[in-house]
Structure 1
Amino acid sequence: MTTAASHAHGVHFGRRDVQNVAMGAGAITLLVGALGFVPGITAAYGDLAFIGPDSHAMFLGVFQVSMLLNIVHLIVGAVGLTMARTYSGARSFLLWSGVLYVALGIYGFAVGTASAANVFALNLADNWAFAALGLVMMACSWLFTRHAPDET
């Protein structure tokens, strides 16, 4: 007797793998955006500014955040949860939010931490994390859809 439920390859809980990955990415991003507003999880919470490098609040004591950056995470997370409802939406979410996060990482490297152009209040840890996260999301958009048939 087996305990494994029979299911089609790449389909779990009635959703395809790419949808589950997009749902997870959206939920985590939404959670990070919300936790960025929680004192204690965000160190120096009193220094949280809406925009710019003068926001010295540190999410998990490592990542510099601003209210604007937290709002971006909340929006990306909500979009991810919404788009994960369909196969093509999930794939598009992972691809384009990956592009967004890579661009955000590159932007952070380009403007530097002390520049007035650093409107999201990014530090070096943010830049590397966004670049890596974006690449992983883009890879997932391909890896979890390369053998799946087109949605009808």
Structure 2
Amino acid sequence: MTTKRFALIYGIVFVIIGLAGFVPGLAIGHSHPDMEMTTGLGLLFGLFPVNILHNLVHLVFGVWGLAAAKSVVGAVTYAKAVAVIYAILAILGLMPVPGLQTTFGLIPLYGHDIWLHILLAAGAAYFGFVRSPADSSRAVPSR
């Protein structure tokens, strides 16, 4: 898979998940004592804590991925940024410091979001830092 295809897939998935967070019934009611922004607070698919801001962040990363998929440079930059940002979000979710697991009450980062953020960061790190950009632009020979 090319880095451009990676950015396209992440973009599509982030848009779908961002939109899913707004669909009634897909996010089961949920509460957390540290959350200040409780609009739309729920567990998406009964697992992942989300709220309206979390859904908007997913949409931003999705649109960014779709735009980045148009060029190798854009896709590599997107992959690197996703890797770093989602690694930071996973670390914040792991820290038992008041306010960090909820980004000071704004966006939930705890629970199942932690392992998901680790997986997203790992996949992005591969395409952003490990895979050679030359490999990303090379076409697969047809048979």
TM-score range, shorter chain: 0.7 to 0.9
Q: Which runs of 4+ in 1 moved over 6 A?
A: 113-116
Matched position secondary structure for 1:148: helix
Mapping 1:112-127, distance limit 5 Å: 117-127=104-114
Equivalent position to 1:89, from 70, 74, 78: 74
- The Cα shift of 1:150 comes to 7.9
Q: Which runs of 5+ in 1 are unaligned?
A: 1-9, 11-16
Q: Deviations over 1:86-124 (max 9, x none)?
A: 001001101111211111111121246876824212222
Distance across 1 between alignment mates of 2:103 and 2:121: 24
Distance across 1 between alignment mates of 2:98 and 2:109: 8
Paired positions, count? 132
Contact 1:53 1:121 (C-alpha < 8 Å) held by counterparts: no
- The Cα shift of 1:144 comes to 4.1
What is the percent sequence identity of the aligned residues? 24
Mapping 1:2-151, distance limit 5 Å: 17-44=2-29, 52=35, 55=38, 56-110=41-95, 111=97, 117-145=104-132, 147-148=134-135
CA RMSD of aligned residues (A): 2.9
Contact 2:11 2:63 (C-alpha < 8 Å) held by counterparts: yes
In structure 1, what residue type is equivalent to 2:109?
A: L
When normalised by structure 1's length, the TM-score is 0.73
- The Cα shift of 1:138 comes to 1.0
Q: Which runs of 5+ in 2 are unaligned?
A: 139-143
Distance across 2 between alignment mates of 1:85 and 1:142: 19
Distance across 1 between alignment mates of 2:20 and 2:59: 10
Distance across 1 between alignment mates of 2:134 and 2:127: 13
Greater RCO (Cα-Cα under 8 Å, separation 6 or more): 2
Change (3 A) 1:103 1:57: same
- The Cα shift of 1:30 comes to 1.1
Distance across 1 between alignment mates of 2:7 and 2:81: 11
In structure 2, what residue type is equivalent to 1:123?
A: Y
When normalised by structure 2's length, the TM-score is 0.78
Q: Deviations over 1:28-65 (max 9, x none)?
A: 01111110111121122xx69xx936744010100111
For the pair shown, the structure with the greater C-alpha radius of gyration is 1
In structure 1, what residue type is equivalent to 2:81?
A: W
